[in-house]
Amino acid sequence: MAAVITLSAGQAFAQDVDAEVSEVVVTGSFIAGSPEDAALPVNVIGSDEMQKQGSPSTVDLIKSIPAVSGAIGESNQFGAGQTTGSGNINLRGLGATRTLVLMNGRRMAVSPGGTSVDTNLIPTAAIGRLEVLKDGAAATYGSDAIGGVVNFITRTNLDGFEVRGDYSHVDGSDGNDYGTSIAYGWRGDRGNILLTAGYRHRSELNTRERDYTRRSITENPQGGWSSFGNPGLYLSSTNGGLSFTSPYVDPSCNAISGPGTAASCNFNYIGFDNLTEREEHYQLYGEINFDLTDTTTFHMEALYAGHDVPEEKSSPSYPPNNFPTSGLTTKAQGNGFFIPSSNPGLQALIAKGLAPASAATSGLFTSIAWRPIGVGGNGLYDNGGKEDKRKFTAYRLSSGLKGKFENGIGWDAGLTYMEDWSDIATPDILISRLQLALRGLGGAGCNPSTGVAGVGACQYFNPFSTGTAGNVLDGRANPNYVAGTVNNQAILDYLFEDYSYKTRTKLFAADLVFNGELPIDFGAGPLAWAAGTQYRWSSIERQTSDYTNIAVTPCTDSPVNPAATCVNQYGGFSFFGPLTDYNLDYGVIAGFGELQVPIFDSLTATLAVRYEDYGGNIGATTNPKVAVKWQATDWLAFRASAGSTFRAPPQTQIAPSVTTSLAYTTAAAGYRAYDVYGNPNLEPEKANTLNVGAILEIGDFNATLDYWSFDFAGPIDNESGSGIINALFPNGTSTTLPNNCGVAAYAGLRNRITFNDINSDGTPDCLPSAINRTRLNVVNGPDLKTSGLDFAASYKARDVLAGGDLSFGLDLTYVLKYEVAPTVIEGVTVKPARDYAGTMDYLGYGSQPQWKATVFGEYTNGDHNLRWTLRYIDGMIDTRVGTSTFTATSPLGQKIDAFVTNDLSYRVFLPWETTLTAAVINVFDADPSFARLDLSYDPFTANPLGRYFKLGVTKKF
């Protein structure tokens, strides 16, 4: 499954070849050939090169590749869902789902946390090199290789034992980072064996350890700030408790939280979160290659890997998105919680003369501008923040036979099976239990029908600051604290349940490939060919807990009344929406062929075509590709490739099910629910790809320059939630300036949104502050065109400094354009056409820096190697410029500055087959550039650690 090229084709970082091997097999074609056959843009990064860089983690290595943009891997619960601990590869910023990840040329199952392969499952101790094909490869590998291919190749040259260990000192980290691995290799006359085991520990780094995360609400209104806090906003009654409309802010707001206003109390939750979480990564890998006969080789490999994030830190509690029925509140007013005057927390405020006069007889009400637990921390956890659990585990088996018939035709047959599990648990409050506890009827042993409020097993929950001694993050004391009103652990245990589900993905693939030569020769050599077939089957299965399952808990009151019925089935949790169980699968049958035509000694063309049949509503596709290489002179060559590609929608996107996600909504100044519905009528997306380049080799100077482009028709994506909200509320959070709620043309958008507030006539109050949830569909979105330039160069000056060599290298990607057609939803253009190159499109097209580059200079003398590496990520414009996100008094973050870091690494070969590496990462301790996001930087592009020191040792036996 590869073309054969040398590693001197202008790849600035393409080094590390076994000295006994004169050529290497490189991802891109099924035809094996000679070095001059290469016509595709492939980067090869070997283990020697990784070692010279200071042995970066898989995440750091991937993010350092200039062609990769917007990869996950850093702790980012705000932008990467419930996938902390996972990693991915996102070539060209087209989305990780459009990059095919292989291991030894064979497929891997997608992660249950998304639609891409989890690269943190790769057994790093077994990897010999990484091959990156930066071109569409549908004709070779299948329709999902639309943006390119990354192939992790295991090592075959180890003979004996090898033990590795590394330690990184990160300032402020809780225990620092470390890892260890052991590998055993055996090489014989007829085969080899490789066995590895690896473990990596990543330590927790709290946001309070980095100054750049602590921003005022003026500097960064999204920097962990919420107007839905505790202390919070309540409503009092002026008509004897028939309705509650008058705002009342908890009197301790500015003392321990704030800043507050007459209608809100701001709360900063970011101090409860981490920049990196405690992560435990482990991998076991084994491989055997054995020559059964002189012409037949057997291969088998097995992988077991996983990673565990046992305590991801998050806000002490979430603000409510759902509400109990009037049967539980005892009030006709909807969309909120009722707190009776008998609640001890409210009685304490009344006794202090700090509550509205009506509270003593009518109680208080709450809606969304509040959360049950805030600055006082959650007493169920040591640091006051909730602890979420994320665990991913996988195993993979792949085996094959390859050989050659007597007539010279080669063959390769393989079977691959993989399963990947995720186990997700996020504590959230059950709405119905919260309402009962506010009325004194909470507690595991309380029967709400027969119990007496606050008596025996029936307990009150105090939602007010009277039960909070102070701010647990900054130590500010609460002047209105009343010790006897503190919520005990039993009532907190009663309120919280895990929003949890388990997901499993499976993959089975069978491959059969033949290759050989035809008796046709135009004078430059015989025509070479390859042909084959593939069958692959994939599935995804989700099982939810009872409280998470919409079939078991469809209504807000279901946890306390299993017979409850409801029109809007938003589930029982206060923040998260319910999920459905499913078990979805489909199979794909493919046939493919390649023909390599040496036209002249200097000109070779390769033609490829692949047919895939998905069956059902998806149908079939035929994708051709042509690649040409012209060796114009001994030192200059030109290459070009063009093809078409097709990507079928994943099973979860065509199933008529709903998945709820939470996203920061600027107009509402907080997180809101977005219900994403699958679309059985979804069409596959299609794209045309083009690459044109040149290869220059003059002595010890090598360079490549490539122009690339991708032209998408109907890319599959969710509808734009921010587009809907911004179109309906062009003036953002303003409640005084007009919005488009009453405009007939916007009625379709208006009907997508559920609002919290209800007017006296029973109709929803269409205001940005009242947004509760928004419906989105998976669709074939607006057409997309992107293009750019890749440039790589390297030069070695030999024997110039004390007998050593000086080497220099450059690898960069420049995005010429990332143009997206207008986005139209319900007949309204919610986003105009735009070029997103050089922008950060929050909740849209992600982080698209225009420039990414890596430059290095190194000195090698015998056993010593010293390298300086500069990494550059270009600045970006926040696409929310022009909205109410940025104002004259709060302009910070409109332009996200370039992020530039410098690394220094040293490697020395010591006696007794020992290698020592030492590195200073981010030598000048550069902070990530400010972005108006929760963590005050962009986790998809930058690194939050600052300067850290790394030491590694490798010993062979």
Give the tens place of pLDDT for each residue, 410-449. 999 999 999 999 999 999 999 999 999 999 999 999 999 9
**Which range among 242-256, 529-543, 673-687 shows the weakest confidence by mean pLDDT?**
673-687
Q: Cα separation of 19 and 6, whole Å?
A: 13
Q: Take residue 399 and report the two structure tokens written for it.
A: 């085996």
Continuous H helices in 32-137: 47-52, 58-63
Cross-strand bridge partners of residue 709: 690, 787
Q: What is the mean pLDDT of residues 888-897?
A: 81
How many other C-beta atoms lie within 10 A of the C-beta of residue 925? 12
pLDDT tens track for 802-849: 889 999 999 999 999 999 999 999 999 999 999 999 999 877 888 999
What Å distances lie between residue 345 and 142, 247, 452, 453, 481, CA to CA?
A: 62, 18, 18, 14, 10
Q: Cα separation of 376 and 345, whole Å?
A: 14
Q: What is the mean pLDDT of residues 674-688?
A: 89
Q: What is the mean pLDDT of residues 525-530?
A: 92
- Average per-residue pLDDT for the chain: 89
Let me know the angle formed at the C-alpha of 673 by 425 and 388, rounded to the nearest 5 degrees: 20
What Å distances lie between residue 116 and 108, 149, 335, 668, CA to CA?
A: 9, 12, 38, 31
pLDDT band with cut points at 50, 70 and 90 for residue 617 = confident
Which phi and psi (to 5°) does residue 160 adopt?
120, -165
Residue 104 has pLDDT above 70, yes or no: yes
Q: Cα separation of 737 and 948, whole Å?
A: 49
Q: What is the mean pLDDT of residues 109-132?
A: 90
Q: What is the pLDDT of residue 757?
A: 65
Residue 210 has pLDDT above 90, yes or no: yes
Continuous H helices in 235-376: 253-256, 326-329, 344-351, 359-362
Residue 737 has pLDDT above 70, yes or no: yes
Does 879 or 666 have the greater pLDDT score? 879
**CA dihedral sign of residues 362, 364, 367, 369:** positive
Cβ burial, residue 528 (10 Å; 0-12/13-18/19+): buried
Q: What is the mean pLDDT of residues 12-28?
A: 44
Q: Cα separation of 38 and 6, whole Å?
A: 9
Q: Cα separation of 770 and 725, whole Å?
A: 12
Q: Cα separation of 467 and 455, whole Å?
A: 19
811 touches 792 (CB < 8 A): yes
Residue 579 has pLDDT above 60, yes or no: yes
Does 158 or 738 have the greater pLDDT score? 158
**CA dihedral sign of residues 211, 212, 213, 216:** positive
pLDDT band with cut points at 50, 70 and 90 for residue 17 = very low
Q: Cα separation of 807 and 869, whole Å?
A: 12
Q: Cα separation of 432 and 200, whole Å?
A: 42
pLDDT tens track for 269-300: 999 999 999 999 999 999 999 999 999 999 99
